[in-house]
Chain A
Amino acid sequence: ETGVTQTPRHLVMGMTNKKSLKCEQHLGHNAMYWYKQSAKKPLELMFVYSLEERVENNSVPSRFSPECPNSSHLFLHLHTLQPEDSALYLCASSQFKGGRSYEQYFGPGTRLTVT
């Protein structure tokens, strides 16, 4: 148990569906992250929120829309996804202080399958 929870753990959705992934951290951190991990590939950073403001968007398609309503919660809204978006989506949190990002703690991930 890392203090970062993600729901749902598994999700199957059609290409025309709209769904949301949820992440919650109980560590008192002020930065949160979304990563994507496709099969047999390294983690890819998607979004970074620091102090509830998005500070990085690594050229992610607009069909992925993040939302960070407060420092403990992070959402990833999904719409009109493609089969190649099937992957493990991981949320992480860390403390960001003095211009430095400290160690990140990850949730268990959401296994997404787009049919």
Chain B
Amino acid sequence: DAKTTQPTSMDCAEGRAANLPCNHSTISGNEYVYWYRQIHSQGPQYIIHGLKNNETNEMASLIITEDRKSSTLILPHATLRDTAVYYCIVPNYGQNFVFGPGTRLSVLP
């Protein structure tokens, strides 16, 4: 897998946008960027993925830089229930997903 680096932890005020960065400078042209989150002691939850273009769904937006070496997951209006560990994953084409330590996001009231 292309190596990803994420901050260990972040805080965000409730109701504000949470912007979670991820660096993946060794990404190849056909490798996707995936985001998952894991709320304490639950199974990871798929959030969103993208290749080149920015993507948006009901949960979040994904902004990928033009050179594809980094991306940002945006939770537009964070709630207390968004407190979780967020994982940025870039699996090699046809290979498996490797979960790193992720970013622990704390949404504060």
Binding site for B on A (CB under 8 A): 2, 4, 33, 35, 42-43, 45, 48, 56, 88, 90, 92, 99-101, 103-109, 111
CB distance from B104 to the nearest CB of A (A): 11
Closest to A94 in B: B97
B45 interfacial by beta-carbon distance below 8 Å: yes
The answer to whether the Cβ of B94 comes within 8 Å of any Cβ in the partner chain is yes
Judge whether B41 and A99 touch: CB under 8 Å. Answer: no
CB-nearest residue of chain B to A40: B101
Contact A105 B91 (CB under 8 A): no
Instruction: Assess A88 versus B41: contact at CB under 8 Å? Given A101-B91, A103-B34.
Output: yes
Report the Cα distance A99→B100, complex, angstroms. Answer: 23
- The residue among A4, A103, A108 with the most chain B CB atoms within 10 A of its own CB is A103
**Chain B's nearest CB lies how many Å from the CB of A79?**
25
Chain B positions within 8 Å of A99 at CB level: 93-94
In the assembled complex, the CB of A76 is this many whole angstroms from the nearest CB of chain B, namely 15
Docked complex Cα distance between A59 and B91 (Å)? 20
